[in-house]
Structure 1
């Protein structure tokens, strides 16, 4: 995850907002032969941003415009991507029909906000585009019956850097956004992907899923349990985002995997495991060592240790079951959030990827 820069950060616009603005400009041109540039739209909370067009094209039965997405200061994979909307007249009474063009994915699994077989254009962006079509139709005597094709050149490659393939969205990116605004470093898109992964797991009848802090722990858990990619939730640092959603959208079993430092923070009760938002308390670890009968020398070393891994290394050398204790405590903290609907176990993995401790399964 990119490090958040200092100072006031600039907000940006979602792919859904950009697609809506491009759609409004294209339909306006289709009805009037004039491309509004910039084009202004109204977002769900009443904001009215204006978007400059970077491309425009008009034929007798089609108009196309494109907008360069500006994600502000957020490290968004789609920052500077080109969002293209092509609008054609539809059959009388057909309403608004959506198509996926180049670089926009298609949904292939149930559990997502749109059903399999549909373009990966989420409900709020669809509503926004339908609203601007109705607005332009009313202003320029149009029927409002249109076919909208949204494209993102290069989107299929960009999608490999997202969780779309794991969610069953093939061929490209999703058109997302509930407010139209990208808040820098809000991590909302990551947490959104965790939630959609849970939805897909429920819809496809999976009984055992896993959330891990990184790729090393994810591979170890997959290998240990024989899980597939579709069983994995991209938890990262957002244990709370995963657990709180699972509390209301339960699955039979969850495994949490990660390194000693990250899962020590979970064991301490932290639900955001990022280093900028939670820290390992060495005195807390020293107290766990005292409970396990560690020597006073080791306890003093722990209290002044530079890293949690330093404490882990000595505990392993001295056969003190600190890792096992952390795994159980992390499991218990997860169960507090879940409130008993899902059985949980926790696996601790060292840096090379070896499993060093496992908790029992409990619910």
Structure 2
């Protein structure tokens, strides 16, 4: 599969782009041509990648093509997955979830409940290919498109799909067709979909945490269901700004003392490579100059004790409340590396 480098990192192609390419190649065979060795498609922004076929099968009234997904240098769990499309006659353009492709079971997603988890842009890309190939071969654009991903159900356990109510496998995704390495936008989009699902289900309390340990502690503390847990990670700003426009009554933010200290000091991106703790400010909050010489926030806590953790929790709550506005009530939970709660603020 041809790829264009992005800086020092190679970009790749989404599952939606792979499914579209597979659809085009399968239609060529179904409607009278021969399977091509490779197929090109036009992406929404005009790029024209080329995809070699990894699988090509056909029978009476059907054709099947598989494309191996290459996510470039992005640590995408679907990298290397085989995206298989089977086409046959239908009524209009119909979409079907094959093996390893999920089905939507919760409201709030861009696809309705009971539908295959094939997002709107990939659907439109496949419809466009159907129209293009139907005109080329003089056929009626009435096709059933079944998308499958072998082992997709197992791979999906490593994604947010179970939490979002997508059962049975993976989603066919992509708004541009391009996977950009280490894309913050993809993570933030998943946070937004989590908020949408929680709101559609009528939840009044959600939580965003910086990592797995804090998530486990916060979920148990408030007995929250899985779909109330938003995968905030380092993207506090991405979560809170979306909640400002799409509010939930109560929002808990939980995390280790280092990332919570950054939030307390006004950072909205908590990644270690993008923001740092201001130890001089921690020393001022603690009233102890020794804190200013600490190397980590945890070391600062070991010097100053519980009052510093309490101040960080309160300042983090204030900073988050300012971002989210007055339609949601914020509370915060600060934990240490062992998972002990060392600071709380709010309700």
Q: Which residue of 2 aligns with 1:330?
A: 316
Q: Which residue of 1 aligns with 2:291?
A: 302
Q: Which residue of 2 aligns with 1:9?
A: 9
Q: Which residue of 1 aligns with 2:129?
A: 132
Give the C-alpha shift of residue 267 in structure 1. Answer: 0.8
SS, match of residue 342 in structure 2? strand
Give the C-alpha shift of residue 187 in structure 1. Answer: 2.7
Q: Would the alpha carbon gap of residues 7 and 39 (structure 1) be closer, same or farther in structure 2, given more than 3 Å must change?
A: closer
CA contact (8 A) 2:291 2:303 kept: no
Q: Which runs of 5+ in 1 are unaligned?
A: 1-5
Question: C-alpha separation between the residues in 1 aligned to 2:114 and 2:346?
Answer: 41
Question: C-alpha separation between the residues in 2 aligned to 1:7 and 1:57?
Answer: 38
Give the C-alpha shift of residue 343 in structure 1. Answer: 0.7
Question: C-alpha separation between the residues in 1 aligned to 2:27 and 2:320?
Answer: 50
Q: Which residue of 1 aligns with 2:341?
A: 355
Q: Which residue of 2 aligns with 1:157?
A: 154
Question: C-alpha separation between the residues in 2 aligned to 1:7 and 1:150?
Answer: 33
Give the C-alpha shift of residue 66 in structure 1. Answer: 0.5
Question: C-alpha separation between the residues in 2 aligned to 1:40 and 1:265?
Answer: 46
Give the C-alpha shift of residue 33 in structure 1. Answer: 3.3
Matched, 1:70 2:70: yes
Give the C-alpha shift of residue 167 in structure 1. Answer: 0.6
CA contact (8 A) 2:298 2:336 kept: no
Q: Which residue of 1 aligns with 2:256?
A: 259
Alignment of 1:175-194 (within 5 A): 175-194=172-191
Question: C-alpha separation between the residues in 2 aligned to 1:201 and 1:302?
Answer: 40
Give the C-alpha shift of residue 7 in structure 1. Answer: 6.3
Q: Which residue of 2 aligns with 1:3?
A: none
Deviations 1:305-358 (A, max 9, x none): 111110111222xx5x11111111111111121122211101111111111111
Alignment of 1:201-212 (within 5 A): 201-212=198-209
Question: C-alpha separation between the residues in 1 aligned to 2:244 and 2:270?
Answer: 19
The answer to which of 32-41 and 139-148 deviates more is: 32-41
Q: Which residue of 1 aligns with 2:84?
A: 84
Q: Which residue of 2 aligns with 1:224?
A: 221
Q: Which runs of 5+ in 2 are unaligned?
A: 1-5
Deviations 1:151-187 (A, max 9, x none): 0111100000001001110010000000000110113
Matched, 1:271 2:268: yes
**Out of 318, 327, 338, which is 1:341 matched to?**
327
CA contact (8 A) 2:291 2:304 kept: no
Deviations 1:248-281 (A, max 9, x none): 1111110000010011011111111111111112
**Out of 113, 117, 122, which is 2:119 matched to?**
122
Matched, 1:108 2:105: yes
SS, match of residue 97 in structure 1? strand
Q: Which residue of 2 aligns with 1:32?
A: 32
SS, match of residue 147 in structure 1? strand
Matched, 1:213 2:199: no
The answer to which of 273-282 and 118-127 deviates more is: 273-282
SS, match of residue 262 in structure 2? helix
| TM-score using structure 2 length | 0.96
Q: Would the alpha carbon gap of residues 38 and 22 (structure 1) be closer, same or farther in structure 2, given more than 3 Å must change?
A: same
Name segments (4+ residues, structure 1) moved above 3 Å. Answer: none
Matched, 1:196 2:185: no
